[in-house]
Amino acid sequence: MKKVVKKWFKILICKIRSLFAQLTVFLIKKLSEFELALSRYTQNANLNGYEDLTPTNNGDEDRQYSAALEWALENQNIKNIALTGAYGSGKSSIISTFQKEHRGYHYLNISLASFTDNAIRQDEPELENDSGNTDKNIDRLIELSILQQMFYHVRHKKIPDSRFKRIKSIGKKGLLFKSLSLIVWILALIVFFKPKFIQDTEIWQQLDLSSPIITYISLSIVIIGIGMIIAKSIRIANNSKLNKLNVQSGEIEISKDIDSSILNKHLDEILYFFEVTDYNVVIIEDLDRFNNTEIFTKLRELNILINSSRQINRRVVFLYAIKDDMFHDKNRTKFFDFIIPVIPVINTSNSGDMLHRMLKQDDSQDENKLSTDFIDDVSMYIDDMRLLKNICNEYTVYKCKLSSKLNPDYLLAMIIYKNLYPSDFVDLHNGKGKVCDIFSSKTALIKGKIDTIDKEIQGCRRRIEQIESLWTKDIQELRAIYIEAIRLKISNAISLNIDNSQCQFSELRKDDFFEILSQSEEKIKYYYTQYYNYNNSRTEVSESSFTFSDIENSIDSEMTYGEREELILDRDNGKIENLKKRIEELKKEKADIKYWTLQQIAENIDITDSFEKIKDDKLIIYLIRNGYINENYHDYISYFHEGLMTRDDKEFLFSIRNREFLPFDFKLTKIENLIKKIRAKEFESKEVLNYSLIDHILPQKYEYDDQYGSLLKQLCSKNKVSISFIDGFLDNGLHIDLFITDICKAWTTFWDFIILESGYSDERKDKYLKLMIECMDISAIKKQNANRGIAGYLQHKKNFVSVFDNEPKIQEVLKNLNVKFENLEIQGATNQLLDFIYENDLYKINKEMIALFIGKKSSSENKDNLNIANYTTIKTSGCTQLMDYVDSNLNEYISNIFLSIPENTQESEELVIELLCKEEDTVSLINRKKIVEKQNCIISILSNIDEMEHSLIELVVQKSKMAATWDNVICYYNLKEDIIDEILVSFLNIEENYKALAKVKLNKENKLQVKISYALIINESISDNCFENLLLCCPYVYSELDFENLSDRKVDLMMKNGYFQLSVDRFAYLKEHFSGKHINLLKRYTQKFIETLSEYSLDKNDVLSLLDSTEFNSQQKILLIQSIENDLIIGDRELSNAVCNILATYPYIELDFDLLKSLLQYGCSMDNRLKMFVLQSHQLSSEQTTELLNVLGEPYSDIAINGKRPSLPKNQLNFDLVNKLQEKDYISSFKEKEDKIKVNTKHS
């Protein structure tokens, strides 16, 4: 019993649970329905900013359009209104706004969908081949759509008499009511008519239905039912239309519809519709999509019929929303009574602003937001508001559904492409379509570019072979080959005719001539000698039978002269190296091309042919050319399902594709699968750098050889990202030893970058170097030290010992890299390490290191003299290892220490001479010259260094580092092969030197000393002061001396000191080369000159100079005048005046009359002229006297006129004159008056 109860109890519990579950489901369903019902009355939260595509009811902000529409609707004359504007200009929004604000009108909205030819053919396949009926069928379908929208716009009961039948849904309550009503009516019939077969039934007999009340009620029900049946029958009959009557075998057609117009066919239905409804504004939209104006004619006719119908008896206005270009001429003003233009809300010029606002880019703080430039560019292809809204809606959906790491520009590009090319977008999903075809052509485009590069590489190699195969030395030799070929063809030619000018064969190699010859296409003309007989010949011009091109072909049929010249120029200009570099560049470009994206291909290759199929699809071309639609388009049109990769892995992959950085330490999980998804070219992008990825690859790098190679190549590119990654990996990576080794192997100048360009602190540099030394072998370290970067860093590091704790490794590195320390902090360094550095010469020869080791190794007392006599101190220090090291690197020592210490000027003469006598390979000539310039020591005996280079000896003399002795001067003079050069002149011109030399008299018995004294005297560069001092040493007076180039000052000095003897030749030489100096010579030897006066040839100037000089006395001057030819004086004003002045003071000297006349005529002093006249008057005839008086001028010329009584000034000269004239009986007499002498001339 207990088991039965227990069993039934379990069953009861199960039933209760089941019932409770069913009740729960029912309640949930009802609550959901209730929630849905409530949502209709609440505002739906639009968190994502979706935009509906329906017309807005706020499309007329300033209400100007509404005002125009209201006026038109109030105007009784207007029955057809057009609202015109471009597609998407906002016409529907204006109408919706008007309807919302003007509810007093009754609106009937008709919107027509677009029909295509395919839709027509699908509806009526029999018309597929009948193109003539296409437009007519479109009209029928438009009319049918209008009619359907009119009648389906109202309930059936509103138009009960319409013949257009439609399915009427009868509810359960209605069906039950009608069923019960029919049963009641049938029962009423039975009760009222009481059929016999009913009355015989037992039930009837048991019911008492004979009451009059029941009878009257039954009668009423029967009558009502019959009335309803009759009314329904009349309405059915009224709506029926009889077309045919079939009588047995025959068929009689009562009516046939031959009108193809739907509107005309059902005109009575339309009139009935407006009769029973209140619509007074019919709004027709989208009718312009069919580009068919015929339908407007029918609608206007329909409007006229409706407004003219007395059956309707009210005004009905048709409002059309159409595009501006629906009618191409003025006919549109005939169709419509009022036209309202609509300014587009959006077009290509402002769609960008709308797109920015809808996508909320201006307010977005998201770093991964759309590019402003991209939105501005792509908006030019969007000119419809609905399309713009749908693009924004779909973009929002895709962005929310797909990964947030997708590039927003690429995603928006795909959405715009999807909306403008929906069919091609579907094809793209299936691997077909225009975009897919373009990406499929990528391989062929890359192959074509690679083929082009291969051809260019082959061309470069051929060019290199041609240049290397050249055997011609230069262009001149090449031209000689062609010239010789011409000469062989015309052996009798003596020259060529080049541009109508004769050109010798020897001149043909010149650029101008050969260029004209090589570029000429005419036959070569040449000159030859035509012989007529043995003694008669003439040069003629003839034309050869060949051109220069023929010569080119005979020499080389494959290359012209110009091409061969170009090859020579290329060779001389190092073109081979440039071509080799170009081949390397092309190979690199070829390797890169294989991984080019389609965008890169479009940027570098002409892909016009590939775009030929989509040349009209400008948007697709723009998106592909700019990389907005690229090889990663699958990521933007499909879901990612986590499996082989985690979501983080996928996000990392997206970051690579989108060129967006993720942190280097971004955690990756399924790296092996991730690597398979990363393209080979993408390993060259900086976005692929990740610590986890590198750590995964390093232990198995040979399995990922290509990928790892690309990574290393990128890491070695020296850009900031790569360096930052390397720096971070050394702190966070696992396989640092492998990493640093591979980096240094791939990047052989890695350490150079660290020290020169990284900007790291010394501490960070030390860390890098420590890792390199600890992880790398010596050969690898040597490669990094190729530019001595490591050695250079160590040799500048004073505290390197504290950085490294592996002393044996340090010694190995130091020795192999030959590190030369510049300075060391020995505090903390062991003597063993210091001795290792000293014994292996691992230090720089500089002041600090030498001072360090002199201080530790030398016991000399002079070690403090390093600053003033460094080399001398080293040589006397006793540090054999140091001395040997310095002597084996003597040139370096001289440069770095000897010459660099400013105070180091006191080296011993012995060591200086030793250094100066070193060979070039030991101490360079430049350094030896610097030693001469720097050291203060004077070379006592120049012959001790006479075996050195002459340029060095010259410098010793030039810098006055030679003792000023005649032996040294003569030694240098001999070395210069008895020439006093500028250097010796400079030495002698130094006051200290020439004064020292002037103290020692040269021996005139010593031919060499006499020779150098002669050379010194005739040297024009010797300064005057030096010359004057050195003359004191000269042992000789020179009768014959070539001193043409001496200065006037030096000539004067030689004359002053008596080094010139008087001779006719010396006089003539001085007169020719030194103006006035010959007179000075005569002035110095006046008596000797006068004694040999007749031997000298004097000119006017010479005579004037001598007559004016004070060195000659009056007697000597008279002798000079007497020796001069009269012709030199006669007629010369200056000379006559000078002679007159001298003779006037001297007793009588017999003079020739003509000479006397010249003296009186040109003498400047009247007193001297009168004196000369008086002195010479006794020898003058009367005629001569008259002539000379006339020369003297008035008043003396009046004396020569008979009968005149001239007056003369009263003075002694005039007394002497008139006395002499009276003595000669030339005048009668003269009388003295107060201040005059009155002369009485003779009468004729």
pLDDT attached to residue 196 = 59
Q: What is the mean pLDDT of residues 735-747?
A: 85
What does the pLDDT read at residue 129?
47
Count of beta carbons in the 10 Å neighbourhood of residue 33: 10
Q: How far is CA 753 from CA 16, 76, 749, 758, in A?
A: 83, 90, 6, 6
Percent of the chain with pLDDT over 70: 82
Q: What is the pLDDT of residues 257-315, one digit of tens each?
A: 444 577 777 888 888 888 888 888 999 888 777 777 778 888 888 888 888 888 888 89
Preceding amide of 408 cis, omega within 30: no
Q: What is the pLDDT of residue 57?
A: 66
804 pLDDT above the threshold of 50: yes
Answer yes or no: is pLDDT of 908 > 50. Answer: yes
Q: Identify the band that residue 116 occupies on the pLDDT scale cut at 50, 70 and 90.
A: very low
Mean pLDDT of 997-1011: 75
Spell out the CATH class of 64-124+135-162+262-341. Answer: alpha beta
For residues 445 and 431, what is the distance between their CA atoms, to the nearest angstrom? 19
Predicted confidence band of residue 317 (pLDDT cuts 50, 70, 90): very high
Largest CA distance in the chain: 227
Distance of CA 1026 to the CA centre of its chain: 64
| Higher-pLDDT residue of 938, 1125 | 938
Question: DSSP string of 171-194?
Answer: PHHHHHHHHHHHHHHHHHHHHHH-
Helix (H) or strand (E) holding 1119: helix 1114-1123
CA dist 4 and 14 (Å) reads 15
Query: Picking from 191-200, 293-302, 728-737, 1085-1094, which range would have the lowest pLDDT averaged per residue?
Result: 191-200
pLDDT higher than threshold 80 for residue 55: no
The overall average pLDDT reported for the chain is: 77
Q: Which pLDDT score, from 0 to 100, does residue 1035 have?
A: 61
pLDDT score at 258: 40
Cα 996 to Cα 929: distance, rounded to the nearest angstrom:
25
**Higher pLDDT, residue 1138 or 1020:** 1138
Q: How many residues does the chain have?
A: 1244
In this prediction, residue 2 carries a pLDDT of: 62
pLDDT for 726 beyond 80: yes
Give the pLDDT confidence score for residue 244 in this predicted structure.
43
Please write the tens of the pLDDT for every residue from 65-79: 888 888 988 888 898
- Tell which residue, 472, 482, 485, 481, has the closest CA to residue 568: 472
pLDDT of residue 41 exceeding 60:
no
pLDDT at site 915: 82
Amino acid 4: pLDDT: 65
Helical segments of 200-328, H only? 202-206, 212-239, 262-265, 267-276, 294-308
d(CA 733, CA 742): 14
* Lowest mean pLDDT across 35-44, 645-654, 656-665, 1171-1180: 35-44
With cut-offs at 50, 70 and 90, classify the pLDDT of residue 254.
very low
User: Which of 227-231, 400-404, 817-821, 1054-1058 is predicted with the least confidence, judged by mean pLDDT?
Assistant: 1054-1058
Helices then strands, counting H and E runs in the chain, come out as 64, 14
Per-residue pLDDT, 1209:
84
The better pLDDT of the pair 459, 469 is held by 459
pLDDT band at 1077 (very low <50, low <70, confident <90, very high): low
Residue type, position 712, single letter: L
Instruction: Judge whether residue 929 has pLDDT over 60.
Output: yes
Decide if pLDDT at 657 tops 70. Answer: yes
pTM value is: 0.48
As a whole-number percent, the residues of the chain with pLDDT over 90 amount to 0
CA–CA distance, 396 with 50 (Å, rounded to integer): 8
Under 8 Å between Cβ of 435 and 428: yes
CATH 2.60.40, domain 1180-1244, yes or no? no
Q: What is the pLDDT of residues 118-163, one digit of tens each?
A: 444 444 444 444 545 666 677 777 888 887 887 777 877 777 777 6
Residue 247, pLDDT score: 35
Mean predicted confidence (pLDDT) in 720-734: 84
679 or 52: which leads in pLDDT: 679
Q: pLDDT digits over 833-883, tens only?
A: 777 878 888 888 888 888 877 877 777 766 678 888 888 888 888 888 888
Mean pLDDT is highest, among 381-385, 551-555, 909-913, 1202-1206, for 551-555
Q: Tell me the CA distances in angstroms from 227 to 189, 224, 234, 238, 693, one per residue in order.
A: 14, 5, 11, 16, 93
Residue 778 has pLDDT above 70, yes or no: yes
Q: Quote the CA–CA distance of 473 and 483 in Å, as a whole number.
A: 16
